[in-house]
Every structure is written in C-alpha cells, then in structure tokens.
Structure 1
Amino acid sequence: MIDLIHQYWPNYLYSDGFNYTGLVVTLWLLVASIVAGFCLAVPLAIARASRNRYISGPVWFYTYVFRGTPLYVQLLLCYTGLYSLHFVHTHALLDQFFRNAMNCTLLAFTLNECAYATEIFAGSIRETAYGEIEAAQAYGMSKYTLYTRVILPSALRRALPSYSNEVILMLHATTLAFTATVPDILKVARDVNSATYATFQAYGIAAGLYAAIVFVLIWGFRRMETRLLAFLKPQGH
C-alpha cells in the first residue's frame, strides 16, 4: 500500500500531470454546487414559504421534481439527454456548454442541491417565531427590511443543523461525477484499481479522503452552530 500511495498520491490529491484530479476536483464540485445552490435557494425559499400559491406553486413543483428523482438520472439528463435536443447542439453557446462534462455535472449538482436547500430554508422561515415578526413590524420595518434583518438571519441560523447534513450528503453525491468522466476521487480510485488490481488499497485511500473531508465539514459546522445558535441555549440567572 505504501508503494501505491507513493506512486499515485498526486492523482488522488491534485493532478495526473496534465489535468486537475482527485481531491481538488471533488472539493471544487462540492464548493461550487453548494455556493451556487445556496445563492439560488435563499430567494426560492422565500417564494416557497409564501402563502400565495402562484408564487409558491412553481417552486414546490421544482423541489418536488428534483427531490423525487435520483440525482444519477438528473446527471444523465444534463450530460447526455439535453445535448440530444436539436436546439441545444445547434446553438453555439449551448453546444459549447453541454459538451463540457464538468459543466453538466455542476449544473445537475447545483439544481439538486438547490432543491433540498430550498425546502430546508423554507421550513426554517415558516418556523420563525411570530413574536419576532410582530416586534419588527412594531418598529415600522418594511417587508424587505423584515426579511433581510429579522426573518432570514434567524431562519438560516436555525437551519444550520439540517443544512450541514445536506452538505455532507452532497459530498457523498459527488461520487456520481465519475459517470460523466469527471476525474474526482472515485474516478482516480477506479483508474488506480484498473492499473494495479489492488482493489482494497485503491478504494481504501478514497474512503480515507472522503472521511477526512467529512470530519472537517462536521468540525466546521459544529463551530458555526456553537457560535450562531448560542442564543437558543437556556440562559442562566
């Protein structure tokens, strides 16, 4: 195993000499999909929590579809399905975008992540204590100020425990990227296994890298929860 690590550790961590691979690609997939999904999920969560069915209905349909179908199927649709459409491969920009495996993978991951994050944040928005809203309204806050200064900060903090689990699940979901020929950790492990037939060692290294990333994520989210959710703890007299 020591020889295997010594020979292939650059592939697992950052590069095969020509392209980025392994840990760098996995982290890029995770961070890019989480950041893009978060930015899309916040406004969609506000719409999802709306009492107006014409506003919340389309968002509900979107989250229902993406949470109700396997991510693997969504990835295949983005990677091969959309490109089979005539208007996609005949349009210059769309053709260039969907020819790139990384673009297709990030699109599928972002849309899936956004759907789950939207429901998590929308649930936290609905659970905002009405007393907080009444107090803000008593100060004469506009609806925009109410959301940006009271509802969203409170809801996003309370959503942290659930959202941290979703981020970890998204990390696990990045293992599907190898099916689109994206050279993530699992793709490297499969290539190493094919080259050496050292199955246990090849996949064992991959498992260790994923476990290390999860440990860092859990540690980081626990620190954030301790700091941002301190106001929920019972206060001493």
Structure 2
Amino acid sequence: MDIAFLYETFVTLISAIPLTLQLAATSVALGAVLALGLAVCRLSGIWPLDWFARGYIFIFRGTPLLVQIFLIYYGLGQFREVRRSAFWFILRDPYWCAIIALMLCTAAYSAEIIRGGLQAVPHGQIEAARACGMSRFMVFRRIILPLAIRQALPAYSNEIISMVKATSLASIITIMEVTGVAAKIISETYRAIEVFVVAGAIYLAINFILTRVVALIEYRLSPHLRQAPALPAVAAGEMR
C-alpha cells in the first residue's frame, strides 16, 4: 500500500468526523427521548398506547434503515401536501432527513432496551420509596429512572455504537460524512481498498473511544461493584 496516499486519505477523512459525530449524537439524543416515551407506553397498561408502541417498534425494527431513509428523503417529497406544509424546509434538507430516519430507527431499538431496564428495577425499592411518602413522579425520577439507566447502559452502549456505524448510510443522500467523503475519493482515484481501510480504522477508533467512555460511566454508576481497597498489613494487625 502507498503510505503517502493512506496519510493523505486519513487527513481528508478526518475533516468529515465532526459531521459523523454530529449525526450520531443528535439522532441518539432525540431517539432516547422518543424511546423513553415508547417504553412508558409499553408499560402503561393502557392498551391503545401499548399497541401504538408495539406497532411502531415492529415497523421500524422490521424494516431496513436504508429503506426508511429512502422513504423519508425521496418518498415524502412526492406528496404535494408535504411540499406545501410548514415542515417542507426540514424534509427537503438531506441532513435533517438523515437525522429523522436515524432517530426513528434507534428509538425502536432503544425503547425495548429501556423497557428492560425499567422492568429490572427491584420492586422492593419502589415500595420503600412510596412508603417514605414520595410521589409517583419523584419515585420515577429519583429511584426508577437512575436504576433503569444503570441496568440498560451495557445494552444501550451497543445501540450507540450501531448508530455511529449507521451514519454511513447517510452518504446515499449526498451527506458528506466519513463514508460519503470516502466514496468521493474512490470515485476520483479508483483505490477502494486503501480508502475503505482508512475509513474503517476511523470508525474503529471512534467506537473504541465510545466503549471506554461508556465503561467509565458504568464504573462511576456502580460504586457497590468496585473492589474494596486492601488494608495494609500494619493496619490489619492493629485492627486485631
């Protein structure tokens, strides 16, 4: 391989990393809010909300993300009512179409992860909080939600990594993130192997950093699982 070409390609692709991270962060943040609402609907016991959430999750988990991007970017623009609506200035922008598609897709997966985290909260802690006089909202905010986040964090980290990789599909609607810039370089140089090796290394580095960040957050949220420091021999003798 040509080292000089690899370095030049790496420098070029670095400029597209902020857009890739912006796509992933925005879609994950908005999707988390929507996913929490869907998870609450699933656990509400109100059958219209439950079945709406079930249908939403079934559709967006059962269809490819690529098809969803095409339908939002190309499909909605075919309706005259959409082009004349107040939302057209958003739906005609490929960036926001990619955000919407990624958000809707990750919300479907994240809703099940959050629902599992909510169901994993020990019922005894909820009863203890209610016995202390906490309102339902306070119990949810101070007891259920923090514990559910801790329970769901390992699985949710996989979803975040998947969304970082899924941003590569945004290149098919002219967004010049890492994969889009890589495709442009390939069309100019016809050197696909070198370019995609560099692009893959960039995605690998981003996801490695994300896994370390999530591991640090999980460590900070789990003080009860940390190993207690060993007592020095002299201190141990004095305690006797």
TM-score (norm 1): 0.90
Counterparts of 1:33-72 in structure 2, within 5 Å, are 33-72=27-66
Unaligned runs of 5+ in 1: 15-21
Cα shift at 1:219: 0.5
Counterpart of 1:139, as a letter, is C
Q: Is the 8 A contact 1:193 1:199 kept in 2?
A: yes
Pick which of 208-217 and 190-199 moved more: 190-199
> Is 1:203 aligned to 2:217, yes or no?
no
- In 1, the alpha carbon distance for the partners of 2:153 and 2:205 equals 21
Given the alignment, which residue of 60, 80, 89 partners 2:83?
A: 89
Cα shift at 1:235: 8.1
Unaligned runs of 5+ in 2: 230-240
- In 2, the alpha carbon distance for the partners of 1:49 and 1:197 equals 52
Q: Is the 8 A contact 2:34 2:107 kept in 1?
A: yes
> Is 1:164 aligned to 2:157, yes or no?
yes
Q: Is the 8 A contact 1:178 1:186 kept in 2?
A: yes
Deviation by residue 1:79-125 (Cα, 9 ceiling, x = unmatched): 1011111211122x322212110010000001111111111101111
TM-score (norm 2): 0.89
Pick which of 192-201 and 203-212 moved more: 192-201
Q: How many residues align?
A: 228
- Structure label with greater radius of gyration: 2
- In 2, the alpha carbon distance for the partners of 1:229 and 1:69 equals 36
Cα shift at 1:232: 5.2
Match of 1:175 in 2: 168
For the aligned residues, what is the CA RMSD?
1.8
- In 2, the alpha carbon distance for the partners of 1:158 and 1:233 equals 16
Counterpart of 2:198, as a letter, is I
- In 2, the alpha carbon distance for the partners of 1:68 and 1:234 equals 42
